[in-house]
Structure 1
């Protein structure tokens, strides 16, 4: 559980100076006073309290109580990413409509899924989502891991054919030094999650109730995403550890209960899994 009040997600720096230098707020209390006005003016939401704020690089996540229930407010201060973030918010709504367990953003009063507002020292791209309650994926729960594999396949099906020229058309995590001689794949490249792991998966028992953090969304083959997920599945924020091979097999079995791998994809999977495990040190 993340702490109440203000904290850093993963960086080993003091939170209050980071809040001031990156966003221009003098403290958590200043944020708690500023947020209700923005939510009221742009979304027509009455905020009744701000419980928690986490800083991650140039981004922030806030947990807010409101007349619409518990909310998560996310913002970024990187103008070059504003169009991508808007497109990602639109994608979340589409995925929700296609049955993927994601938090669909609440629309602003003018219909936007995300809004650019004035912050203390510059523009902020802000999104508002309903809070999804659950536990981080426990890789020792075989049923939950199987469900996570099926959920990843469901996500890939929902992403098939989806295009938006504001979203990435390349994969920042491409495996560029793979061994030669891998067979061609029948499946075309498509949008994939790129960060499907315990820290981005909320569960209730054996059910996945929330897939989080589409910030690394990119273009690639589905089997690349599956192999990467198998290697990194057990990682939680700063708690990085190897994923046992039995857990990887369960994740793959869940995936193939929805989308069976072709012989060529199976060969790619074996090579990519080893490649990522060596590259990351998570063996």
Structure 2
């Protein structure tokens, strides 16, 4: 399937060359096997495809350990945060959340800084999760997504790592503090593009790059407004779908009266902010 951009209207060969220093997809296919063999002791049989998003890349490979995904970033300022996020994925996997836990390198690291053609790259290797993006017309799947978000919040409760962001622009709504719902780590981008399903079952929650501190009801409200969005088709989630998502969430963690009132305010705030 070759090389493509995730959402940018940029020529992918040019982006690959200018952002990462590879002269074509074939060069990536020659570089990745050496890295995986040396650092993870993984034998690569073939490189299927690659997607570029900003200064990040995802490469799908066939290996002696099954289908894997190689993710890297050259945003050096975020290397510490990316390492912390990778470690968090392993913890969430151990706590029963459907995530792709990074494979550890031979020296036990979840993420490794590798010398790339244009400088350091922060690299992680993860199992490929087989599934389809969430279909918001599947009521059972949407309800399951609400359950999954509540369970994710429970799994994140109490987890701390000072390398993860402590500020969250999506919390800056101008609304008064919500004292009865203490802040914790939240996913911060829970929507169809980051939720994989098999039938109506949630089999994977993806992309923890936006994780930050916030109130759980803020995360639920954001998900309620943006659940329908994938990559370029941004638009409001229908009210009936929001209700189903919330019902699934509250089957695990009911909202308090204060959270219930804040939820409605936050939904309106997100709608107005994005012009929905």
1:233, CA displacement in angstroms?
0.2
Instruction: Tell me if the contact between 2:173 and 2:269 (Cα under 8 Å) persists in the aligned partners.
Output: no
- Counterpart of 2:224 in structure 1 is 230
Pairing 1:70-81 to 2, within 5 Å after superposition: 70-81=67-78
Contact 1:64 1:71 in 2 (8 A): yes
Displacement of 1:206: 1.0
Confirm whether residue 264 of structure 1 aligns to residue 261 of structure 2.
no
Secondary structure, in 3 states, of the residue corresponding to 1:251? Answer: helix
In the alignment, the residues of structure 2 paired with residue 45 and residue 173 of structure 1 have an alpha-carbon distance, to the nearest angstrom, of 39
2:56: which partner in 1? 59
1:242 maps to what in 2?
A: 236
TM-score, L = length of structure 1: 0.96
Instruction: Provide closer, same or farther for how the CA distance between residues 256 and 36 of structure 1 changes in structure 2, counting only shifts above 3 A.
Output: same
Which residue of 125, 134, 148 corresponds with 2:145? Answer: 148
Question: CA-to-partner distance for each residue in 1:49-108, whole Å, 9 max, x for gaps?
Answer: 111100000000010100000001000001111111110000000000001000000000
Superposed CA offset, 1:136-171 (max 9, x none): 000000000000000000000000010001111111
User: Residue 173 of structure 1: SS of its match in structure 2?
Assistant: helix
2:197 to 192, 203, 206: 203
Pairing 1:172–2:169 present: yes
Distance 2:256 2:179 in 1: 8
| Aligned with residue 69 of structure 1, among 58, 66, 69 | 66
Deviation at 1:247, TM superposition (A): 0.2
Alignment correspondent of 1:254: 248
1:17 to 10, 14, 25: 14
Structure 1 runs of 4+ off > 4 angstroms?
none
Asked if the contact 2:134–2:193 (Cα under 8 Å) also holds between the matched residues in 1, the reply is yes
Give the equivalent residue in structure 1 for 2:104.
107
Q: How many residues are aligned here?
A: 276
Give 1:183 shift.
7.2
Report if the CA contact (8 A) 1:185-1:264 is conserved.
no
Unaligned runs of 5+ residues in structure 2 are none
